[in-house]
Amino acid sequence: MADPGFRGPKQIYQAFQWSMQGLKATYQAEASFRMEVYLFILLLPCAYLLADSHIDVILLIGSALMVLLIEIINSAIEAVVDLVCGEERHELAGRAKDMGSAAVFMSQVIVFLVWGLIAYQNLIA
């Protein structure tokens, strides 16, 4: 299907609405996403207190937002796998879910490293 290109504010608004529906659906369906949202809300003011520069703020908030982003992608993968496979167990389906979970874990490791290094740099060193 050919891309018609930019069509105007109406399409941008529609895309925004779909994005909000996706956020709402993820929040309602995924307990882990809700927990990560609450943690992000707690970390947000901490980022401003911990940071010594605008770059620090961007790294702290950006890394925390990355966890939410990866969790949304992981939830989408899980939803599609569940839709296609239903109750049937399949090695590739399990692998896809495990890989999505690993991506979330790795994003959490990045948050730990970023926050830990900036905290060390700005509070201890």
* List of domains in the chain: 31-124 (1.10.287.3610)
Whole-number average pLDDT of the chain: 94
What pTM does this model have?
Answer: 0.88
Phi, psi of 73 (to 5 degrees): -65, -45
Mean pLDDT confidence for 107-111: 98
Sign of the dihedral through C-alpha 30, 31, 32, 35: positive
Kindly list the catalytic residues.
71
pLDDT band of residue 122 (cuts 50, 70, 90) is very high
